[in-house]
């Protein structure tokens, strides 16, 4: 994909419709995405820096941001571990049911978040299939921060698997053979030769899963319990402020989240530039 980009035409084109296509694209993009996002920034700016800062550093806001970011980070880290194992197994091994498993990885993309939320809650509640197994040991998942983690692992998994999978698929076996023929054990080959070249993909997957988790709303609110300072996520706090008609506070929290989201995009682009430089792809 990246290779094709350089090929496009440099000479004047015989193809018609440039003005119409680009004009429509830019108009639609502006109306649907850019102007609304600009309105958000404008509203945030109207609070003034001190106003903005006061809202964002209010204890309840900080607590919600912390819950969102910390749990999203942990969930994305869990997804990296299991996502790499899943990608590895799906690409490298042949076993019955492999293709079914491969297809089901995309379920979190296809299943509406609210449905995922109530289903996970039903499973992890005290009388649920898993909740009832854990309850005797005093472990509670639903209605605690753990529940948020479960929901975020669910929605983030495909990002890691689908980012690592193609890179692993293209990995040249000759490199593994070379490592082995130079005396590396399989463990050394995997951890010191293969994983380092998968690292950019893994980091990208992590960042995508993390970004998605931070903004996630639907699957979390059912299972979280939504207790302020404990299990209240930042997107929920935005909704609560909005329902109080407190647009300023809702906007400030949203703007803070957007800044961080944009920083993550920048981070992903940097990783990908690094990957291209390093592996020429």
Q: Take residue 37 and report the two structure tokens written for it.
A: 């996002």
Q: Take residue 30 and report the two structure tokens written for it.
A: 């502006």
37 is an interface residue for other proteins by CB under 8 A: yes
Q: Please, are residues 240 and 249 in contact by the beta-carbon 8 Å criterion?
A: no
216 is an interface residue for other proteins by CB under 8 A: yes
Q: How far is the CB of 98 from other proteins (least distance, A)?
A: 9
Selected range binding other proteins among 1-9, 53-61, 133-141, 273-281, rule: CB under 8 A: 1-9
Give per-residue burial for 128-138: e unless 16+ CB within 10 Å, then b: bebbeebeeee
Between 247-279 and 48-56, two packed helices, what is the crossing angle to 10 degrees?
Answer: 80
From candidates 45, 48, 177, 196, binder to other proteins by CB under 8 A? 177
Range 250-269, binding other proteins (CB under 8 A): 250-251, 254, 257-258, 261-262, 264-265, 269
Query: Can you tell me the distance from the alpha carbon of 250 to that of 44, in angstroms, rounded to the nearest whole number?
Result: 9
Of 77, 55, 51, 75, nearest to 65 by C-alpha is: 55
Number of residues that bind other proteins (CB under 8 A): 108
279 is an interface residue for other proteins by CB under 8 A: no
Range 45-74, binding other proteins (CB under 8 A): none
From candidates 55, 56, 76, 211, binder to other proteins by CB under 8 A? 211
Range 94-153, binding other proteins (CB under 8 A): 94-95, 97, 99, 101, 103-116, 118-120, 122-123, 128-130, 150, 153
Query: Can you tell me the distance from the alpha carbon of 113 to that of 155, in angstroms, rounded to the nearest whole number?
Result: 8
| Alpha carbon distances (Å) from 20 to 5, 16, 32, 111, 159 | 22, 9, 18, 36, 35
Place of tokens 């800044």: 259
Q: How far is the CB of 50 from other proteins (least distance, A)?
A: 21
From candidates 67, 86, 141, 203, binder to other proteins by CB under 8 A? 86
168 is an interface residue for other proteins by CB under 8 A: no
* Residues comprising the chain, all counted: 281
182 is an interface residue for other proteins by CB under 8 A: no
Q: How far is the CB of 24 from other proteins (least distance, A)?
A: 4
């Amino acid at each position: 994909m990246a290779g094709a980009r350089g090929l496009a035409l440099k000479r004047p084109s015989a193809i018609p419709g440039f003005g119409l296509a680009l004009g429509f694209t830019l108009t639609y993009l502006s109306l649907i995405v850019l102007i609304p996002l600009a309105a958000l920034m404008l509203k945030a700016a109207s609070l003034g820096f001190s106003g903005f800062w006061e809202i964002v550093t209010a204890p309840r806001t900080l607590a919600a941001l912390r819950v969102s970011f910390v749990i999203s980070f942990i969930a994305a880290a869990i997804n990296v571990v299991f996502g790499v194992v899943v990608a590895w197994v799906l690409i490298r091994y042949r076993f019955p049911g492999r293709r079914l498993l491969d297809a089901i990885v995309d379920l979190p993309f296809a299943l509406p978040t609210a449905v995922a939320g109530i289903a996970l809650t039903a499973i992890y509640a005290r009388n649920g299939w898993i909740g009832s197994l854990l309850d005797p040991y005093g472990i509670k998942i639903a209605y605690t921060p753990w529940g948020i983690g479960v929901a975020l692992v669910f929605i983030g998994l495909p990002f890691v698997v689908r980012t690592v999978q193609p890179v692993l698929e293209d990995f040249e076996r000759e490199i593994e053979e070379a490592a082995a023929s130079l005396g590396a054990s399989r463990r050394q080959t995997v951890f010191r030769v293969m994983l380092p070249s998968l690292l950019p993909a893994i980091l990208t997957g992590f960042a995508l899963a993390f970004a998605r988790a931070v903004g996630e709303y639907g699957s979390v609110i059912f299972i979280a319990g939504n207790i302020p300072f404990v299990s209240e996520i930042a997107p929920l706090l935005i909704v609560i402020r909005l329902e109080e008609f407190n647009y300023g506070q809702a906007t400030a929290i949203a703007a803070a989240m957007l800044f961080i989201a944009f920083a993550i995009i920048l981070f992903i682009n940097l990783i990908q530039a690094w990957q291209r430089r390093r592996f020429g792809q």
